[in-house]
Amino acid sequence: MSVECRDAIVDEPVGSAISSALLAHYDVHARDLPWRISPAARRAGAGLDPYRVWLSEVMLQQTTVAAVTGYFQRFTDRWPTVEALAAAPEEDVLAAWAGLGYYARARNLIACARAVAGAHGGQFPQTEAGLLALPGVGDYTAAAIAAIAFDEPAAVVDANVERVVARLFAIATPLPAARPEIRTCTARITPRERPGDFAQAMMDLGATICTVRNPSCLICPLASHCAARAAGMAEALPIKPPRKAKPQRTGTAWWIELDGQVLLVQRPGKGMLGGMRALPDDGWSARADGHAEPPVTGQWQVIEAAVGHVFTHFSLELALALYRGPQIDKVAIENLNGIWWPVEQIAEAGLPTLFAKAATVAIQHR
DNA sequence: AAATCGGGGAG
DNA sequence: CTCCCAGATTT
């Protein structure tokens, strides 16, 4: 039932009819988002700031609009330009990113800002190829910035567009094998005029109408063009591979508090929660449980299953052990290479959510 | 091609 | 509870 996306099928008039219908709908129903500008300002000729487009796109990678909005506001208030972000201490940026997840994005964000502010003289590259060379900028983000900030007719394909296009052309090939065909079809319907609005309109459509479950085909501006709709198979597409089961791991975090300060560590720069401040722990990972051996001798109050947390590829049940004295082994503490942080200011430590939850439990048991 | 890497919101 | 989100990078 798959409709091949060839020139003969998706010819110029058909592609134009789709983009025209979508843009007309977008002009009325576009979501009002912090990284967008008003239609009135747009008509007056205002352009989008590439810095804000880039920042929003990186934050939105695998992350919902609702989760990003507050972070975007705080980042742009605190660092209004790419030069300001480039000049910020790395620990400040990582702490500001805490809770948003996928922390490699934050590390790449800093590297990218410094590359743009330095080697590129403060200007983002304006071509897809140039953007693609930046840290943390892949196929999707390069195309999105090129289209939205620089008016280039790039094929912007995110998970929303994958779904919309797979349905429009009834592409029944399972993902990820269907991606080349989806990309070709997306390029075929991307207009030379307003490519940035088109990309955002496609994503709005996927987020609000052409949803994963229960798509609202009755109000869809593209319903008359949709092959999956005609075949009664819209909700079944795209076909996704089965997902693997998550292993269940256990670990222990250590709460060592002296004189109102708790010992934190900075995690290694790569891997899980890389570069982030954290409670010291027993080495749990996606591959293995933690060893549960306390880092210093003494009396510990253990709170079993203090925190349950689900990561992308495993679940973790984290025990929390609170140090209860009587004395502290100064040498062993030094070996932890930690930093003492005022407990009253723990919210400003920039702990990832797992450890923020653990800290909350610890404070309740103080 | 498959695995790694967070967190939260929707249903 | 399950599913998935404006993906990139490494293996």
Find the CATH number of the domain harbouring A265: 3.90.79.10
Is pLDDT at A358 greater than 50 in this prediction?
A: yes
Residues of chain A above pLDDT 90, percent: 87
- pLDDT above 70 covers what percent of chain A? 96
Whether residue A174 contacts residue A239, with contact meaning beta carbons closer than 8 Å, is answered with: yes
pLDDT tens digits, residue range A114-125? 999 998 889 999
Q: Is A47 a member of any domain?
A: yes
For A335-352, the pLDDT digits (tens) are 889 999 999 999 999 999
Final residue before a domain boundary, out of A236, A271, A294: A236
Query: Per-residue pLDDT tens for A216-258?
Result: 999 999 999 999 999 999 999 999 999 999 999 999 999 999 9
Residue A76: CB less than 7 A from any atom in strand C: no
DSSP annotation of A269 reads S
Output the domain CATH number for residue A141.
1.10.340.30
Strand-pairing partners, residue A309, are: A316
Between A7 and A202, whose confidence is greater?
Answer: A202
Give the C-alpha separation, A179 to A188, whole Å: 14
Task: Write out pLDDT tens, residues A166-197.
Answer: 999 999 999 999 999 999 999 999 999 999 99
Asked if strand C contacts A146 at the CB level, meaning under 7 A, the answer is no
- Cα separation, A293 vs A281, in Å, equals 9
Residues of A 273-302 whose CB lies less than 7 Å from any atom of strand B:
273-274, 285-287
Q: Which nucleotide across the nucleic acid strands is nearest to A270, CA versus C1'?
A: B5
Lowest average pLDDT, out of A7-11, A141-145, A151-155, goes to A7-11
Is residue A65's beta carbon less than 7 angstroms from any atom in nucleic acid strand B? no
Is the model's pLDDT at A11 over the cut of 60? no
In angstroms, the CA of A179 and the C1' of B1 are apart by 13
The contacts found for A112-119 with CB under 8 angstroms, 24 or more apart, are A112/A54, A112/A58, A112/A136, A112/A137, A113/A82, A113/A85, A113/A86, A114/A86, A116/A82, A116/A86, A117/A82, A117/A83, A117/A85, A117/A86, A117/A87, A118/A86
Q: Is the CB of A191 under 7 A from strand B?
A: no
A26 touches strand C (CB under 7 A): no
A157 and A285 share one domain: no
Residues A342, A310 share a domain: yes
| DSSP three-state, residue A228 | helix
Domain of residue A172 covers 12-236
* Nucleotide B10 C1' to residue A36 CA (A): 24
How far is it, in rounded angstroms, from Cα A332 to Cα A346? 23
Instruction: Assess whether pLDDT exceeds 80 at residue A2.
Output: no
Mean pLDDT of A49-54: 98
pLDDT in tens, A89-128: 999 999 999 999 999 999 999 999 999 999 888 999 999 9
pLDDT at A3: 44
In a domain, A182, yes or no: yes
Q: Is the peptide bond before A176 cis (omega within 30 degrees of 0)?
A: yes
Question: A309: closest CA among A249, A233, A232?
Answer: A249
* Tokens of residue A28, six digits: 């009325």
Kindly state whether residue A294 falls inside one of the protein's structural domains: yes
**Per-position DSSP letters for A180-212, written without gaps between them:** HHHHHHHHHH--SSSHHHHHHHHHHHHHHTS-S
Backbone CA torsion sign across A167, A172, A178, A183: negative
Among residues A193, A208, A236, the one where a domain terminates is A236
Query: Which residues on adjacent β-strands are paired with residue A348?
Result: none
Do residue A225 and residue A298 come from a single domain? Answer: no
Q: What pLDDT, on the 0 to 100 scale, is given for residue A10?
A: 54
Contact A168/A18 with Cβ under 8 angstroms?
yes
* A187 CA vs C2 C1’ separation (Å): 33
Gyration radius (Cα) of chain A, Å: 24
Which of the residues A57, A128, A152, A162 is marked catalytic? A57
Q: What are the two backbone dihedrals, phi and then psi, of residue A4, each rounded to the nearest 5 degrees?
A: -60, 140
**CB A184 within 8 Å of CB A192:** no
* Nucleotide lying nearest to A137, CA to C1' measure: C8
Annotated active-site residue A57? The verdict is yes
**Domain stops at, among A190, A211, A236:** A236
Q: What pLDDT sits at residue A5? A: 54
> Does residue A5 sit within a domain?
no
CB of A340 nearer than 7 A to strand C: no
B1: residue with closest CA to C1': A176
Q: How confident is the model at residue A12 (pLDDT cuts 50, 70, 90)?
A: low
Strand B nucleotides, any atom under 7 Å from protein beta carbons: they are: 1-11
Per-residue pLDDT, A1: 37
Cα A5–Cα A207–Cα A228 angle in degrees, nearest 5: 35
Which nucleotides of chain C does any protein CB come within 7 A of?
A: 3-9
pLDDT grade, residue A8 (50/70/90)?
A: very low
Residue A266: inside a domain, yes or no? Answer: yes
Neighbour count for residue A354 (Cβ, 10 Å): 23
Quick one: pLDDT at residue A13? 59
A6 domain-assigned: no
- Give yes or no for residue A149 having a pLDDT over 70: yes
Which pLDDT tens digit goes with each residue over A254-272? 999 999 999 999 999 999 9
| Residue A1 included in any domain | no
Distance A60 CA to C4 C1' (A): 14
- Shortest CA to C1' contact from A352: nucleotide: B6
Tell whether A338 is covered by a domain.
yes
| pLDDT score at A187 | 97
Pick from A6-10, A155-159, A205-209, A213-217: least confident: A6-10
In angstroms, the CA A166 to CA A162 distance is 6
Name, in order, each residue with C-beta under 8 angstroms of A190's C-beta and a sequence gap of 6 or more. Answer: A15, A19, A147, A153, A154, A155, A156, A198, A199
On the question of pLDDT at A4 being above 70, the answer is no
Q: Do A310 and A359 have their domain in common?
A: yes
Q: How many domains does chain A have?
A: 2
Is A243 (CB) below 7 Å from strand B? no
Residue A122 and residue A88 in contact, taking contact as beta carbons nearer than 8 Å: no
